[in-house]
Amino acid sequence: MNAKSNQNDRLWMYATMVKSRHFEACIKPAYFEGKTPVFNMAKGPLPGEMHLSDGQEPCAVGVCAHLRADDTVTATHRPHHVAIAKGVDLDAMTAEIFGKATGLSGGRGGHMHLFDAKVNFACSGIIAQGLGPAVGAALAAKMRGEDSVAIAYLGDGAANQGAFHEALNLAAVWNAPVVFVIEDNAYGISVAKKDCTAVARNADRAAAYAMPGHFVAGNDPDAVHAVAGEAIARARRGEGPSLIEIETCRLEGHFMGDAEGYRPPGEVDRLKALDPIPRYRERLLAEGFDAADLDAAEAESQRQVDAAFTAARAAALPDPSEVYDHVFA
Amino acid sequence: MSSPEAPTRKLTIARAMSEAIGQEMAADSAVMVMGEDIAKLGGVFGTTTGLLEKFGPERVRDTPISETGFIGAAVGLAGAGFRPVVELMFVDFFGVCMDAIYNLAAKQSYFSGGQVTCPMVLMTSVGGGYGDAGQHSQCLYATFGHLPGMKVVMPSNAHDAKGLMLAAIRDPNPVIFMFHKALQGMGWLGTVKRSITHVPDGDYTVPLDRAQIAREGRDLTIVSLGLGVHHALDAAETLAKSGIEAEVIDLVSIAPLDRATVRQSVGRTGRLLVVDDDYLSYGVGAEVIASVCEDGAISLKATPRRIAHPDVPIPFSPAMEHHVLPSAGKVLEAAQAMLEPAL
Ligand SMILES: Cc1ncc(C[n+]2csc(CCOP(=O)(O)OP(=O)(O)O)c2C)c(N)n1
Ligand SMILES: [Mg+2]
C-alpha cells in the first residue's frame, strides 16, 4: 500500500471509530428508556442483552480497512463496531436492533444476530461459533479460485472453547484463506483472562496449528492495520491462515446493566485515560492531518448515525404474523 | 438446630437454589460447584451467591468458557465420588457440550452395568419473554426429557427450588435442574411475584418425580411447568370468577413424567389443557396428552388441547416474541373454548 492510500485508510479508520463510538453513545440512552427507575431488561425499545464495543474500535477498523464487500466477516455477541467497519447497512442494522420491520432480518434477530449478505457479514451469540463458518467461507473462495478471504472475530474467552481449536486446525489443514482475530479485552464477563487461560498470549496458540500468530499491543489502530494487512494479503495469496491477538479494552460493562463488581478499583478510569479514539486523533494531528478534515469526518460519521437512529425509531414494528416467514427458505 | 424462623421468610428461586447448594456443601464435602461466572460473580442468575466466600476457590470454581471440558470433568468427578453441581449458563448453549451430557453423564450407569454412577446436577436457565432472541431464550424441555438416563426438573417457586436442589444433589443420577428466567428473582429481570415464596431454612427435599396439584378444581385440568404454572393459575383465577374451577397441575418433573397424577386429575375433570413455552412439536404437551389417551379408561368431555411456542425460532422483536409466547390470556381463551358447551 502506498503512503497516500495508507493516509486515506487512517482517515477512514478515525471516522469509522468515531461512527462506532457515536453509535454506542446513541444506544445507551435508548437502552435505558423504559428501564428506569427500575431496571428490567425486558422493557423499553431495546429489550434483551446489549453488549457495547466502546474501547474495542481499533480491532474493527484496523482489520476491516483491508476488506472488500466479497470478503466474509463473522463476528460475536459484541458486533456493532465490526459490523459498522465491515460496511453493514447502518440504517437496517439500527432498525434491526430496535426490532423494526425495516431491520436487516425484519426484527427476527436483533443485536446479537446481525446478518447482511450484501457485505458477507454475520454474527452469533454462541461463543466461538463464528469460527467454523469463517473457515467454510474461506474454503468456498479457495475452491472457486477467488482471492476473497474470511475473518473470524472472537473474544479472549472464546479461545478456550473447543470450536476455536477445531477451526484453527481445520483452517491450517485446508490452507484456507482465513484470519482469526482475537479481541483481548482481558475478561469473559466477570472472569479475568489470566484466571482461566493456560497461556499468557493466545497468539502463541497459533504455533499448535502451524500458522503465524501475531500479538498487537496497545489497542492501536495503525499497529492493527499493519499486522492485519500482512495476514490478509498472505491469505489472498493462498498462503493460508493466521491468528492475530489484539490487546484492547472494554470500557463498558459486559452488557448494559452490569454492575462490574469484578473489576479492580479504578480500572475503568485507567482504561478511559487510554481511550484509543482521542489518542488516535492526537496522533493524526501531530503527524500533519488537518483538524478541519478530522472534524468534518467526525461530523459526517455522527450525522449518519443520528439519521439511522431517527429512521429506526420512526420505522414500523413488524407484523406479528410474519414471524412464520423464513423458518424455511 | 435451625434458628426460630419467621414463617414469612420469603426467598427468590435464585436465593433458594444458592441456599440449598450451600447447605449441602456444608453437610457433604463431596459437593462442589463449577461453571462460568459462578464464583466471584455468584452466577449470572444468582444460583451460587456467597458460595465462594464460604467455601473457597477449591470447591467453587470459575471455569473457562469450555462447557465440553468442564461438564465432561463433572462426569469424571461424579464417577470418582464427588457430587459436582455445574452450571450451563443458558440451556441454549447445550449445543457445544451435549455429548458430555447425554452420551456420558446419562449413560454412565447403564453402560457400566451399574458399576459407576453419575451423581451430578447440571443447572441451567431457560425461557424468553425479555427480547434476548432465539439463542438465549429457548426452553428445550422436550430435548432433554426425550433422552433416557437423566432426570429433568424445574421449580415454579422458591420452596420447591430448594427442596428439589437438595434432592437433586443427593440423587445418584444426573439431574438437569432447569430454572426459568421469568421466575428467578434477578434484580435486572422481571419476576412473577408468586414464585417468591416462604422457604424453610432447614433441610427438606421435594421429590424429583412427583407432579403437584397447584390448585384444585373439578371442571378442567391445566397441566404445566415453570412459568406456565403461573399463566395457568392466573387463568384459573379469572375462570373462577365465572364459577369455573380449573385444576392446575405443576409437573415439576419433565423426566420422569408423573403420568399417574395427570391421569387421576383428568379422570375427574374430563378436560385437559397442557401449557408450556418450549417448541410445540414433539413437546411436553404431546407427551402429556398421549399419556392420558393411552390410559383408555379416561372419558374425555372435550378434545385435549396444548399451548406452546410454535415451531419457529424465538424471534427478537417484542412485537413478534409476545405474539408467539404462551400467556395467561391464551390459556384463558383455550380453556374457555374447551368449556364452551358447559358454559
Ligand atoms: C457457548 C457459550 N458459552 C457461554 C456463553 C455466555 N457468554 C456470553 S459472552 C461471554 C464471555 C465472552 O468472553 P469473550 O470471548 O472474551 O468476549 P467479550 O465478551 O469479552 O467480548 C460468555 C461466557 C455463550 N454465549 N456461549
Ligand atoms: Mg473478552
Neighbour count for residue A235 (Cβ, 10 Å): 27
Strand A72-75 and strand A150-155: pairing?
parallel
pLDDT higher than threshold 70 for residue B3? no
Which one of B136, B317, B325 would you mutate to disrupt binding with A, by most A Cβ within 10 Å of its Cβ? B317
Sign of CA dihedral B45, B50, B55, B56: positive
Residue with cell 397441566: B223
The strand pairing partners of B61, in sequence order, are B34
User: Taking CB atoms and an 8 Å cutoff, what residues of chain B touch A190?
Assistant: 37, 40-41, 62
A279: in domain: yes
pLDDT higher than threshold 50 for residue B1? no
Residue minimizing CA distance to atom 25 of ligand 1: A126
Mean pLDDT across A36-40: 93
Report in angstroms the alpha-carbon separations of B13 from B169, B196, B229.
16, 7, 15
Residue minimizing CA distance to atom 7 of ligand 1: A127
Query: From ligand 2's centre to the CA of A249, what distance in Å?
Result: 8
Domains present along chain B, CATH in parentheses: 10-198 (3.40.50.970), 212-342 (3.40.50.920)
A323: in domain: no
Which residues, 6 or more positions from A211, have their beta carbon under 8 angstroms from its beta carbon?
Answer: A168, A171, A172, A240, A241, A242, A243
Rounded mean pLDDT of chain A?
A: 97
Mean pLDDT across B144-154: 98
pLDDT higher than threshold 60 for residue B343? no
Q: What is the pLDDT of residue B6?
A: 63
Sign of CA dihedral A251, A26, B41, A165: negative
Q: Which of B154, B310, B138 is nearest to A320 (CA)?
A: B310
Q: What is the pLDDT of residue A166?
A: 98
A to B CB pairs, distance under 8 Å: 145
- Pinpoint the alpha helices (H) of chain A: 3-32, 57-64, 80-86, 90-97, 131-144, 162-173, 193-196, 221-236, 267-273, 276-286, 291-314
A108: in domain: yes
Which residues, 6 or more positions from B149, have their beta carbon under 8 angstroms from its beta carbon?
Answer: B102, B105, B106, B107, B109, B110, B173, B174
Q: How far is CA A190 from the centre of its chain?
A: 20
Asked if B324 is an interface residue toward chain A (Cβ–Cβ < 8 A), one would say: yes
Query: From ligand 1's centre to the CA of A70, what distance in Å?
Result: 28
Closest alpha carbon within chain B to A129: B96
The DSSP H or E segment spanning B260 is helix B259-269
Q: How far apart are CA A2 and CA A109, in angstroms?
A: 40
What type of residue sits at position A318?
P
Q: What is the pLDDT of residues B312-321, one digit of tens each?
A: 999 999 999 9
Q: How far apart are CA B246 and CA B262, in angstroms?
A: 13
What type of residue sits at position B164?
L
Q: What is the pLDDT of residue B5?
A: 58
DSSP A73-111: EEE-SS-HHHHHHHT--HHHHHHHHTT-TTSTTTTSS-T
Farthest-apart Cα atoms in chain A, separation? 57
Calculate what percentage of chain B has a pLDDT beyond 90. 96
Mean pLDDT across A168-180: 98
Mean pLDDT across B184-195: 95
Residue with cell 358447551: B341
Q: What is the pLDDT of residue B202?
A: 97
Report in angstroms the alpha-carbon separations of B322 from A111, A139, B2.
18, 40, 44
DSSP label at residue A132: H
Q: What is the pLDDT of residues B228-258, one digit of tens each?
A: 999 999 999 999 999 999 999 999 999 999 9
Dihedral Cα B262, B299, B142, A328, nearest 10 deg: -150
A264: in domain: yes
Report in angstroms the alpha-carbon separations of B195 from B12, B47, B155, B198, B315.
7, 15, 9, 10, 26
Q: Which of A25, A16, A153 is nearest to A85 (CA)?
A: A16
Q: What is the pLDDT of residue B2?
A: 47
Phi, psi of A59 (to 5 degrees): -65, -35
pLDDT band at B341; cut points 50, 70, 90: low
pLDDT higher than threshold 70 for residue B74? yes
Q: What is the pLDDT of residue B342?
A: 53
SS3 A8: helix
pLDDT band at B32; cut points 50, 70, 90: very high
Farthest-apart Cα atoms in chain B, separation? 63
Give how far B265 is from chain A: nearest CA, Å. Answer: 35
Rounded mean pLDDT of chain B?
A: 97
A322: in domain: no
Q: How far apart are CA B334 and CA B319, in angstroms?
A: 22
* Structural contact between residues A12 and A221, judged by C-beta atoms closer than 8 angstroms: no
A325: in domain: no
What type of residue sits at position B148?
P
Mean pLDDT across B170-185: 98
* Structural contact between residues B277 and B140, judged by C-beta atoms closer than 8 angstroms: no
* Structural contact between residues B227 and B190, judged by C-beta atoms closer than 8 angstroms: no
Asked if B312 is an interface residue toward chain A (Cβ–Cβ < 8 A), one would say: yes
CATH of the domain at A120: 3.40.50.970
Active site residue B67: yes
A241: in domain: yes
Give how far A169 is from chain B: nearest CA, Å. Answer: 17
Domain that holds residue A43: 3-186+202-315
Which one of A35, A124, A324, A326 would you mutate to disrupt binding with B, by most B Cβ within 10 Å of its Cβ? A324
Query: From ligand 1's centre to the CA of A189, what distance in Å?
Result: 7
pLDDT higher than threshold 60 for residue A111? yes
Asked if A251 is an interface residue toward chain B (Cβ–Cβ < 8 A), one would say: no
Mean pLDDT across B132-147: 98
**A 111-170 residues with CB below 8 A of B?**
111-113, 124-129, 157-158, 160-163
Number of domains in chain A: 1
Q: How far apart are CA B320 and CA A321, in angstroms?
A: 8
What is the grid cell recorded at A148? 476473497
A324: in domain: no
As a whole number of Å, the CA-based R_g of chain A is 19
Mean pLDDT across A100-115: 98
Q: Which of A243, A228, A236 is nearest to A169 (CA)?
A: A243
Q: What is the pLDDT of residue B8?
A: 82
Query: From ligand 2's centre to the CA of A121, what distance in Å?
Result: 21
pLDDT higher than threshold 90 for residue A269? yes
Q: Do A108 and B316 touch (CB under 8 A)?
A: yes
The strand pairing partners of B279, in sequence order, are B309
Q: What is the pLDDT of residue B340?
A: 86
